[in-house]
Structure 1
Amino acid sequence: MRKFLFRGLLVLVVLTVVGAGVGAWVLLRPPIDTVGDVAFDRALAVPPLAESRLDQDGRRVFDLRARAGQADLGQGGATETWGYNGDHLGPTLRAKRGEQVVVNITNELGEDTTVHWHGMHLPAKMDGGPHQPIRPGTTFAPHWKVDQPAATLWYHPHPHERTEKQVYRGLAGMFLIDDPATDVASLPHEYGVDDVPVMVQDKAFDDDGQLSENGRFGSEIGILGDSVLVNGTPGPYLDVTTSLVRLRLLNAATARFFNFQLSDGRPFTLIGSDGGLLDRPHQVQRVPLSPGERAEVLVAMRPGERVVLRSGPQAPDGDFATRRFQGGGDKFDVLELRAAATLKPSPAVPAKLVDIPRLNPSTAADAREMTFSTRDINGRKMDHRRVDAVVTKDTTEVWTVVNGHGTPHSFHIHDVQFQVLRRTDGQPVPPLLSGWKDTVHLPAHEGYTVIMRFSGFADPATPYMFHCHVLRHEDEGMMGQFVVVEPGGQPQLAAHHDHGG
């Protein structure tokens, strides 16, 4: 008996010591910091503009094929990835306001997928949410009229409970909308030259150079990688040939929050957000973006100089748990800008960009409150059989969206762009949130009151989504549904739609 008790005590002591060691390591390990350690030895890959054709009805037709492949992600060999029309990521789709578009999406994966048009105003049946699964070997052809201001949008999968995995493996691409009425001709516009997509993602790799899908120990937000890719390129540099370069920043990570800035501390010019250009340019030193958010910035360059786009710690840094477990203290070198010895002069940036009509809260038909906490919204997880909000077509609503606890969240809504009315903590609304938005970071215990108008489409049987764009949170239930109905209409939810060939 004494021997048994001694062995038990010995095991308890060992477990206590080991547990204390693991706990100390978790609490004391330094944040990830790649500043000064990135070689910047690869030219930035610029996603090709997707080929398109006009059909007999004058519609612009694109073709996308979701497939598995292999890509060089800087691990000394081939990494297994997924992509559209290639091994990793997808081409940039581009269309003009007023065009009818069709996208033929063929699923060559071994599981269901969807394609969601993030930031796009379109009918619910074309939105690509979890209600429109594309079965393996089949094709879905969503079609709609592009009818919104010039903007930087993107597309990615949105299947039920598998969005994080599919985006992380590489299914993502940009969708640019052109519209002379809501753009500025004097801004940089030559795609891939002075107007460059910058799709930023973090990745974790295992010892074999393959993508690791394990979450960081202690993380409540999913996969946090220690390597950053831009347009799928590790250690990228961009050769700049003009005095101004326009960067279309997209946080395409599944969980990580980036805080972009320049290595020498110089300001850059913020000109656009999720839904298009701002009313005027703003000089800023940081652009924080949560997953799914976009920003357009102009960087002024001098001949022959080099400057690095970095992601610094979140500002403000957040609480201890955010810094330690959610990546809030991590720092990355992201992209090196290399100016040529001689630069082509760029036109001056005008003091006025575009007019943004402001929505009037006094005309709101309804006001709603949404609290995001754990994996719930207002205490309820996603249920495909439940409608969380019934919205009347051609009405305006005011929503207050709040983070109810300490874990970082974001708010994304399908179909509409919103305007931020105020912060719930009473602080001023920053320039990045002064224009049209579809995604916004919800800091711990804080949030925003936003206003939006639901125009154009009504469908009582097919819902749109609103959810946290931290994709693991979305997959685990932090998502709700709303339907848009004609005046006096009621929801009539249908079953999931299959899309065969």
Structure 2
Amino acid sequence: MRKWLFRGLLLLLVLGVVGAGVGVWVLTRPTIDTVGRVTFDREVAVPPLAASRVDGAGRRVFDLRTQAGESDLGRGEPTATWGYNGAHLGPTLRAKRGEQVIVNITNQLGEDTTVHWHGMHLPARMDGGPHHPIRPGATFAPQWRVDQPAATLWYHPHPHERTEMQVYRGLAGMFLIDDPATGAAGLPHEYGVDDVPVMVQDKAFDDDGQLSETGRFGSEIGILGDSVLVNGTPGPYLDVTTSLVRLRLLNASTARIFNFALSDGRPFTLIGTDGGLLDRPHQVQRLPLSTGERAEVLVAMRPGERVVLRSGPPAPEGDFAMRRFQGGGDRFDVLELRAAATLKDSSAVPAKLADVPRLDPATAAEHREMEFSTRDINGRRMSHDRVDAVVTRDTTEVWTVVNGHGTPHSFHIHDVQFQVLERTDGGPVPPLLSGWKDTVYLPPHEGYKVIMRFTEFADPATPYMFHCHVLRHEDEGMMGQFVVVEPGGSPRLSAHHGHGG
């Protein structure tokens, strides 16, 4: 009996020592820091513009197929990836305001997927939410009229409980809207030359060079990689041939927050955010972007110089938990800009970029409060058969969206763009949040009051989504549904269904 008691006490002692060791390692492990350590030896890939045609009905037609493949992500051996019309990522779709578009989406994967048009104003049944899965082998052809200002949008899957994995494996692409009325003709606009998409993603790899999907130990926000790709390119550089280069930044990671700056500390010019151009340019030195957010910036270059776009720690010094467990202390070299010996002169940046009419909170028909905490919104997790908000068409609403605990979240709403009215802590609203937005970062214990107007597309049977764009949080239930109804209408959800399955 004494022998077994001794062995039990010894086992508890060993487990205690091991547990303490693990705890010390977690608390003392170094943050990720690639600054000065990246060999920029590959020209950054520029996603091709998607081929399109105009059919007999005058619609611009695109074709997308989801597929599996292998890609060179800099690990020596090919890495298994997913993509649209190729092995990894997808082409850039481009359309003009006023055009009717149709996108034929064929699913060649072995599981359900969807395609969500992030930032697009369109009918709910075309939006690509989780209630409209595309079955393996099936084709879905959403169509809508593009009717919003010039903007940098993107597309990605949104399947029920599988969004994080599908985006992480490579399903993502950009959708650019052109509009002469809000295009600011004096800005750089030659795609891939002085107007360049910069899709930034972090990845983690296993010993065999394959994508690791296990996530970082202790992380509450999902996968945090130790490598950064731009448009799928490791160690990327961009040859710059003009005195101004326009970068369309997209944080297409599943969890990581970036805090962009230039390596020599020079300011750059912020000209646009999620929903389009700002009313005027702003000089900034740092630009934080959470998952799903976009920003358009102009970088001034001198002949022959090199400067690195990098990401500094996005969390403040005092936030130990976020810096240690959520990537808030990590630093990355992202993209090297290499100016040619002779640069073509760019036009001066216009003092006025676009009209951004302000929505008036005094006209709001409804005020709502949304608290994001753990994996819930207002204490409830996503349910396909529940409507969380009923919105009347042609009305304005004010939503207060708040992070109720210590883990970072974000707020994304489908169909509409919003404006930030104020911070809940009373602080100033930064230039990054002065224009149209569809996604906004919610720091721990902070939030925003936002205003939006719901026009057109009343459909009591088909919901739009609002959710946290930290994709693991979304998959685990941090999402709600709203429907837009005619005045006096009420929701009547249709059955959960797929397309062509």
Normalised by the shorter chain, which TM-score bucket? over 0.9
* Cα deviation 1:149-193 (Å, max 9, x = unaligned): 000000000000000000000000000000010110010000000
Q: AA paired with 2:277? A: L
* Cα deviation 1:252-305 (Å, max 9, x = unaligned): 000000000000111100000000000000000011000000000000000000
State how far apart, in whole Å, the 2-side matches of 1:150 and 1:495 are.
35
User: Is the Cα contact below 8 Å between 1:268 and 1:283 reproduced in 2?
Assistant: yes
Question: Secondary structure in 1 aligned to 2:328?
Answer: coil
**Alignment partner, residue 154 of structure 2:** 154
* Cα deviation 1:188-208 (Å, max 9, x = unaligned): 000000000000000000110
**Alignment partner, residue 242 of structure 1:** 242
**Alignment partner, residue 289 of structure 1:** 289
State how far apart, in whole Å, the 1-side matches of 2:391 and 2:52 are.
35
User: Is the Cα contact below 8 Å between 2:315 and 2:322 reproduced in 1?
Assistant: no
Mapping for residues 256-271 of structure 1, pairs under 5 Å: 256-271=256-271
* Cα deviation 1:318-356 (Å, max 9, x = unaligned): 611100000000000000000000000000101111110
State how far apart, in whole Å, the 2-side matches of 1:383 and 1:57 are.
38
State how far apart, in whole Å, the 2-side matches of 1:496 and 1:233 are.
38
State how far apart, in whole Å, the 1-side matches of 2:13 and 2:499 are.
59
Offset at residue 16 of structure 1 (A): 1.1
Offset at residue 499 of structure 1 (A): 1.1
Unaligned runs of 5+ in 2: none
Correspondence 1:142 to 2:142: yes
**Alignment partner, residue 53 of structure 1:** 53
User: Is the Cα contact below 8 Å between 1:133 and 1:496 reproduced in 2?
Assistant: no
Question: Secondary structure in 2 aligned to 1:321?
Answer: helix
Offset at residue 316 of structure 1 (A): 3.1
Offset at residue 496 of structure 1 (A): 2.1
**Alignment partner, residue 39 of structure 1:** 39
Q: AA paired with 2:263? A: S
**Alignment partner, residue 489 of structure 1:** 489
Relative to structure 1, the CA distance from residue 124 to residue 318 in structure 2 (aligned partners, 3 Å threshold; closer, same or farther) is: farther
Q: AA paired with 1:190? A: E
**Alignment partner, residue 176 of structure 2:** 176
* Cα deviation 1:53-90 (Å, max 9, x = unaligned): 00000100000000000000010010000000000000
User: Is the Cα contact below 8 Å between 1:317 and 1:328 reproduced in 2?
Assistant: no
Correspondence 1:430 to 2:430: yes
Question: Secondary structure in 1 aligned to 2:382?
Answer: coil
**Alignment partner, residue 77 of structure 1:** 77
Q: AA paired with 1:79? A: T
State how far apart, in whole Å, the 1-side matches of 2:190 and 2:169 are.
29
State how far apart, in whole Å, the 2-side matches of 1:4 and 1:387 are.
58
Mapping for residues 64-143 of structure 1, pairs under 5 Å: 64-143=64-143
Question: Secondary structure in 2 aligned to 1:103?
Answer: strand
Mapping for residues 320-331 of structure 1, pairs under 5 Å: 320-331=320-331
State how far apart, in whole Å, the 1-side matches of 2:304 and 2:318 are.
37
**Alignment partner, residue 412 of structure 1:** 412
Offset at residue 497 of structure 1 (A): 2.8
Offset at residue 93 of structure 1 (A): 0.1
Question: Secondary structure in 1 aligned to 2:362?
Answer: helix
Q: AA paired with 2:171? A: L
State how far apart, in whole Å, the 1-side matches of 2:385 and 2:267 are.
49
User: Is the Cα contact below 8 Å between 1:157 and 1:171 reproduced in 2?
Assistant: yes
Correspondence 1:253 to 2:253: yes
Question: Secondary structure in 2 aligned to 1:308?
Answer: strand
Question: Secondary structure in 2 aligned to 1:472?
Answer: helix
Correspondence 1:192 to 2:192: yes
User: Is the Cα contact below 8 Å between 1:318 and 1:328 reproduced in 2?
Assistant: no
Question: Secondary structure in 1 aligned to 2:441?
Answer: strand
State how far apart, in whole Å, the 2-side matches of 1:182 and 1:394 are.
23
Question: Secondary structure in 1 aligned to 2:411?
Answer: strand
State how far apart, in whole Å, the 1-side matches of 2:287 and 2:121 are.
25
State how far apart, in whole Å, the 1-side matches of 2:354 and 2:126 are.
29
**Alignment partner, residue 314 of structure 2:** 314
Correspondence 1:464 to 2:464: yes
State how far apart, in whole Å, the 1-side matches of 2:292 and 2:316 are.
20
* Cα deviation 1:375-401 (Å, max 9, x = unaligned): 000000000000000000000000000
State how far apart, in whole Å, the 1-side matches of 2:421 and 2:247 are.
27
Q: AA paired with 2:416? A: V
Question: Secondary structure in 1 aligned to 2:18?
Answer: helix
Mapping for residues 471-482 of structure 1, pairs under 5 Å: 471-482=471-482
* Cα deviation 1:220-257 (Å, max 9, x = unaligned): 00000000000000000000000000000000000000
State how far apart, in whole Å, the 2-side matches of 1:41 and 1:317 are.
33
State how far apart, in whole Å, the 2-side matches of 1:498 and 1:335 are.
40
State how far apart, in whole Å, the 1-side matches of 2:305 and 2:175 are.
31
Relative to structure 1, the CA distance from residue 419 to residue 85 in structure 2 (aligned partners, 3 Å threshold; closer, same or farther) is: same
State how far apart, in whole Å, the 1-side matches of 2:496 and 2:335 are.
42
Offset at residue 456 of structure 1 (A): 1.4
User: Is the Cα contact below 8 Å between 2:129 and 2:159 reproduced in 1?
Assistant: yes
TM-score after normalising by structure 1: 0.99
Relative to structure 1, the CA distance from residue 317 to residue 170 in structure 2 (aligned partners, 3 Å threshold; closer, same or farther) is: farther
Offset at residue 495 of structure 1 (A): 1.1
Q: AA paired with 1:87? A: A
Question: Secondary structure in 2 aligned to 1:221?
Answer: coil
State how far apart, in whole Å, the 1-side matches of 2:434 and 2:183 are.
16
User: Is the Cα contact below 8 Å between 2:256 and 2:291 reproduced in 1?
Assistant: yes
Question: Secondary structure in 1 aligned to 2:56?
Answer: coil
User: Is the Cα contact below 8 Å between 2:31 and 2:330 reproduced in 1?
Assistant: yes
CA RMSD of superposed structures (Å): 0.7
State how far apart, in whole Å, the 2-side matches of 1:300 and 1:257 are.
25
Offset at residue 317 of structure 1 (A): 4.3
TM-score after normalising by structure 2: 0.99
**Alignment partner, residue 443 of structure 1:** 443
Q: AA paired with 1:312? A: G
* Cα deviation 1:113-157 (Å, max 9, x = unaligned): 000000000000000001111000010000000000000000000
Q: AA paired with 2:175? A: F
State how far apart, in whole Å, the 2-side matches of 1:285 and 1:349 are.
17
Question: Secondary structure in 1 aligned to 2:215?
Answer: coil
State how far apart, in whole Å, the 1-side matches of 2:318 and 2:354 are.
34
Offset at residue 215 of structure 1 (A): 1.3
Offset at residue 9 of structure 1 (A): 1.7
Mapping for residues 222-241 of structure 1, pairs under 5 Å: 222-241=222-241
